[in-house]
A and B are shown apart, each in its own frame.
With several copies, the nearest count.
Chain A
Amino acid sequence: MASSSVTVGVAGSGGDGVVALGSLLQRLAAWQGYFSHMLRFYGPQIRGGATAVRLSLDAEGVSLPKDSPDILVCFDWEKYLEVDREVPLAPETVVLYEKAPPSGLRLPKKSFEVDFSEASRQATGSDHNKNVVALGLVKRLLGLCGDRASEAIQTDEGLHLLKQNVAVLEAGELLLAGHSFAGLELCPAQDRSVKVVLHGNAAVAQGALRAGCRAFFGYPITPASEIMQEMQDKLPRLDGVFVQAEDEIAVMGLALGASIAGLKAMTATSGPGLDLMTEMMGLASAAEVPMVIVDVQRCGPSTGIPSKAEQSDLNHAIYGGHGEAPRVVMAPYDVPGCYRLLVEAINIAQRFQTLVIVLSDQWLGQGFVAVNDAFLKQDYPLEELKRPGGEETGDYRRYLMTDDFISPMAVAGEEGLTYQMTGLNHNEKGWPAFDFETNQQMHRKRYSKLMPLCGRDGLVEVFGNENCGRGILTWGSSAQIVLETVRWLGLQDEVKVCVPQLIHPLPERVERFVKSTDKLLVVEMNYSGQFYRYLRAQMDMPRKTELYARAGGRLFSRKELSGPVTEVAR
């Protein structure tokens, strides 16, 4: 009986080619039409330490890797033990390992010692390709022998390693030939179209470019650097502007400068960098300069755990900075959503002349998925600045009070429309003003202009039975596991799930969702329940509201969430 979804784990040291094995498997499968999702884990070593991946291959849609892999390839038990919590063994796990396990470790029944290195040596004279040997074996176990494999190997850049190593791959396929591995074989992919493989950081960059972003400024920081990398690679060809700056304050200054001169500008960072941007965030808000910041969240506070996900920057995104500097906060929950939401974010920044902060996180940003490429091909309407009509010449008022509180904006360089901006409180002309009335009026302008966003129902997704009174509210990548857990427990009819991608200002649809429940669960990955408290601050919650929140450092698992999810559905 073939499965619709199989999870493969690989563990070893960096030098064993662990991540390469996972990536190759993912790409090969994508050519056969399989969806997939790969999680990567590293030990504390900067390079070459313990490494693991956990990877789901799915015939029907992207699903999360199971908590324990169905197949584990282990190159090195010592390294495995540094990351075992990320690829734990279940009794059913099929283990393919190279060297004998340490005496204390009890392996599942179906464990096989396989000399990958030897097979590599036999095929090529060196054991450099033991990961390709293992790939061959896994490929056979999964029944991944579709007709497109050789085409893929010939044409896919990402598979060029296999091109020179077809013999090694084939050697792997022949190993353990005498054993049967029932239940590991994958069903044929439902939709055979080749899937696109990318991670959230790449999707963010590509979405931004699609929306017309032509100016990116960055400073390296884990786990956001891939966005900068992608922008550095792509912007020059698009005649865009790219600078790796001296720090995150400069990043924001450069980006604001580009924005007032008419380019759609953005940056990406993680927690510590976001902190440094705080003062500039206030300036962007006060002077109403369009700007997008993507924050790929990692564990805080301070340097925290740079390589692991957490959802703990929400407070700063919403409330960070002195004074009152309204901004928009959004959060995608999956990789295609990263793309779509960047289009939205750039659009909103332009339309509302506002700062938009997009909260991604380490596992969304760095986890590779194979998905349908529909989101890339879709049509996206783009928004541009509201422009002065022409009649203003001579008395152009940059901060004119209009009905929708959005003033027509000229950009530096346009004839007849010179104006002066300032972070000081200012009047409609942009000139400094030190009186209460103007201060109040401009606060009102900056807050009110964003209110129409609350009606954007499309930025909130509700899954499950809309009529039931049990609800779960969650945001960002946690939503993926919540949804999987509900499915896994078969509770789709018992509980509905609301995932807002616009978080601030709070969409009306979220309020309606909360009002329609009598029992509510909020799930998020941070210690203090930031989203929960943000919701409470805005509206009344059902008496029976529970919060499931904890610090990051390990992904939520289905097992972990099944308690609270079952409880709310009951």
Chain B
Amino acid sequence: MMMSRADYRTGVKPVWCRGCGNFGLLSTLTRKLFPGLGIPKHKALVVSGIGCSSRIPAYIDTYGFNSIHGRAVTIAQGAKLARPELTVVVIGGDGDFFSIGAGHLPHAVRRNLDITCIMVNNFVYALTKGQTSPTTPHLKRGEGAFLSRQFYPPVDPLLDMLSYSVSTRASFIAQGIATDTAQLGWLLEEAVRHKGFSFVSVLTPCVTFDPPELFDTIREKARYLREGEVVELPESSPDTPWVHDPQNIGLALRLAEVSLMEEPLLGVFFKGGGGMTDAGLSAG
């Protein structure tokens, strides 16, 4: 059965602000990812948490569950175990994944089920009107123009996901940007194709609560990672550049140490070997 792009949208009108980066993700999913991989809509399940980004399931005509804050990845795993033939996609915000939901991630990584997590990183708690999130860039009070309420350093989602993956060597970790839907579409396809747990961080502007400088900076400093090509490091880096090899977790750890605010890297950070079979879990 062929699916047209329109097939993947419900009749529900998004509640997002005009210009919100979430529109980019929505169209990447409904126009690229699902039709591109030819996934029939009943074979996909989109699970989200709570946040602006997490409103997305109502707009996608696959099975969907806009669940509760921080727990989407647990629900997704349960569904995948029960029906391995489903393509399971988890969508949530930076708060969802790395604040209230942070405790579920190391365990999801080691279970290594074949699900794909998409973290909509807009560096802010948007739905609740602009509080700092765990990824809000760290600036001392008054030091910078924006987000000055953040007093402790941000968590580093990519580094954390990589460190969780050291034992399994089996995850897929990537970063895209909502404003480049072409690359994002490709990254998401790779992530879904990867047999095992995948995590994609999507840098996403929140036009209402992010200071515009934040995303301007990100877009300006962003560099693409390409397999087999030399990694462009920021000038401040003391490291000697190396050839990007997403199979090498040691190099991936070094990549993840590059500060996002100095140089946001877009591409596949790490792609491990195949995971355990899903059956492993129930054979317990």
**In contact, B284 and A254 (Cβ under 8 angstroms):** no
Q: How far is the CB of B153 from chain A (nearest CB, A)?
A: 14
Question: Is A489 at the interface (CB under 8 A from chain B)?
Answer: no
**In contact, B74 and A253 (Cβ under 8 angstroms):** yes
Question: Is A250 at the interface (CB under 8 A from chain B)?
Answer: yes
Residues of B contacting A422 with CB < 8 Å? 57-58, 65-67
**In contact, A246 and B107 (Cβ under 8 angstroms):** yes
**In contact, B282 and A239 (Cβ under 8 angstroms):** yes
Residues of A contacting B74 with CB < 8 Å? 245, 249-250, 252-254, 257
Bound complex: CA A241 to CA B18 (Å)? 38
Question: Is A215 at the interface (CB under 8 A from chain B)?
Answer: yes
Look across to chain B and name the residue whose beta carbon is closest to the beta carbon of A238: B282
Look across to chain A and name the residue whose beta carbon is closest to the beta carbon of B45: A412
Residues of B contacting A254 with CB < 8 Å? 74-75, 77-78, 81
Of B68, B76, B99, B208, which is in contact with the most chain A CB atoms at under 10 Å from its CB?
Answer: B68
B interface footprint on A469-486 (CB within 8 Å = 1, 0 otherwise): 000000000000000000
Summed over the interface, the residue pairs from A and B with CB atoms below 8 Å come to a total of 200
Stretch of A32-40, A42-50, A451-459 contacting B (4+ beta carbons < 8 Å): A42-50
B interface footprint on A285-313 (CB within 8 Å = 1, 0 otherwise): 00100000000000000110000000000
**In contact, B83 and A255 (Cβ under 8 angstroms):** no
Question: Is A258 at the interface (CB under 8 A from chain B)?
Answer: yes
Give the residue of A239, A257, A417, A424 whose beta carbon is less than 8 angstroms from that of B80: A257
Contacting A at CB under 8 A, from B43-90, are 43, 45, 47, 50, 52, 55, 57-58, 60-83, 85-86
Bound complex: CA A423 to CA B81 (Å)? 22
Residues of A contacting B58 with CB < 8 Å? 420, 422, 430-432
Bound complex: CA A252 to CA B282 (Å)? 17
Question: Is A225 at the interface (CB under 8 A from chain B)?
Answer: yes
**In contact, B63 and A283 (Cβ under 8 angstroms):** no
Q: How far is the CB of A131 from chain B (nearest CB, A)?
A: 19
**In contact, B282 and A247 (Cβ under 8 angstroms):** no
**In contact, B66 and A423 (Cβ under 8 angstroms):** yes
**In contact, B65 and A247 (Cβ under 8 angstroms):** no
Contacting B at CB under 8 A, from A415-462, are 415-424, 430-432
B interface footprint on A242-276 (CB within 8 Å = 1, 0 otherwise): 11111111101111111111110100000010000
Look across to chain B and name the residue whose beta carbon is closest to the beta carbon of A256: B75
**In contact, A46 and B78 (Cβ under 8 angstroms):** no
**In contact, B64 and A253 (Cβ under 8 angstroms):** no
Stretch of A90-98, A216-224, A329-337 contacting B (4+ beta carbons < 8 Å): A216-224
Question: Is A240 at the interface (CB under 8 A from chain B)?
Answer: yes
Q: How far is the CB of A321 from chain B (nearest CB, A)?
A: 12
**In contact, B131 and A283 (Cβ under 8 angstroms):** no
**In contact, B69 and A46 (Cβ under 8 angstroms):** no
Dominant secondary structure of chain B at its interface with chain A? mixed
Residues of A contacting B126 with CB < 8 Å? 46
Question: Is A232 at the interface (CB under 8 A from chain B)?
Answer: yes
Residues of A contacting B77 with CB < 8 Å? 243, 253-254, 257
Q: How far is the CB of A434 from chain B (nearest CB, A)?
A: 10
**In contact, A412 and B132 (Cβ under 8 angstroms):** no
Question: Is B233 at the interface (CB under 8 A from chain A)?
Answer: no
Residues of A contacting B132 with CB < 8 Å? 244
Residues of A within 8 A of B (CB): 44-49, 215, 217, 219-222, 225, 228, 232, 235-236, 239-250, 252-263, 265, 272, 279-280, 283, 287, 302-303, 411-424, 430-432
Other than A245-B74, A250-B74, A432-B66, give 15 A-B pairs with Cβ distance below 8 A: A46-B16, A46-B127, A48-B18, A220-B129, A236-B282, A241-B82, A243-B77, A246-B107, A247-B99, A249-B71, A256-B78, A260-B63, A302-B68, A421-B67, A431-B10
Could you show 16 A-B contacts with beta carbons less than 8 Å apart?
A47-B208, A48-B17, A246-B99, A248-B100, A250-B71, A253-B75, A253-B104, A256-B75, A258-B78, A279-B68, A413-B83, A415-B42, A416-B42, A420-B60, A420-B65, A422-B57
8 nearest A-B residue pairs (beta carbon): A257-B78, A253-B74, A254-B78, A420-B64, A261-B82, A257-B79, A220-B128, A247-B100
Residues of B within 8 A of A (CB): 10, 12, 15-18, 40-43, 45, 47, 50, 52, 55, 57-58, 60-83, 85-86, 99-100, 102-104, 106-107, 111, 125-129, 131-132, 134, 149, 208, 281-284
